[in-house]
Amino acid sequence: MPIDEPKYKFVRSLVAGAPEGSGIYALWEDDEMIYIGRANGMTIKGALLRHIEQGHCPCTTRATHYSWELSLRPATREFEVLQAFEARHQRLPRCNEEAA
């Protein structure tokens, strides 16, 4: 079950338009999904800004695009998307593997 939202360039000006709600997001390096995360106690916008401002994980600094999905149960949805990714690719997204 992929994140069905379109991809946006991963730059501060476009992240500023990300949702102020809870949910999950994906970071992409060109066409490769490199990280799946959830907004933990913050908004999707806040979580994405944290990646830009604080370099949440060195691996995600290579992200070129992002996508998102609103969810009332972001932890459950993140788990579902990670499981689906792993079933399809026999691995987690590479930045999730590095963060583990």
Question: Does residue 13 lie within any of the structural domains?
Answer: yes
Question: Does residue 2 lie within any of the structural domains?
Answer: no
Name the pTM for this structure.
Answer: 0.93
- Residue 67 has φ and ψ, to the nearest 5°, of -140, 165
Question: Does residue 38 lie within any of the structural domains?
Answer: yes
Question: Does residue 1 lie within any of the structural domains?
Answer: no
Q: In Å, how far are 69, 82, 88 from 39, measured between CA atoms?
A: 10, 15, 24
Q: Look at residue 58 and tell me whether its pLDDT is greater than 90.
A: no
Per the CB < 8 A criterion, the answer to whether 30 and 6 are in contact is: no
| Number of neighbouring beta carbons within 10 Å of residue 30 | 10
| Pairwise CA distance, residues 5 & 25, whole Å | 9
Per-residue pLDDT tens for 7-52? 999 999 999 999 999 999 999 999 999 999 999 889 999 999 999 9
Residue 90: CATH number of its domain: 3.40.1440.10
How many folded domains does the chain comprise? Answer: 1
Question: Does residue 3 lie within any of the structural domains?
Answer: no
Predicted pLDDT of residue 99: 75
Per the CB < 8 A criterion, the answer to whether 39 and 74 are in contact is: yes
User: What domain range includes position 91?
Assistant: 8-99
Give the pLDDT band of residue 56 (cuts 50, 70, 90). Answer: low
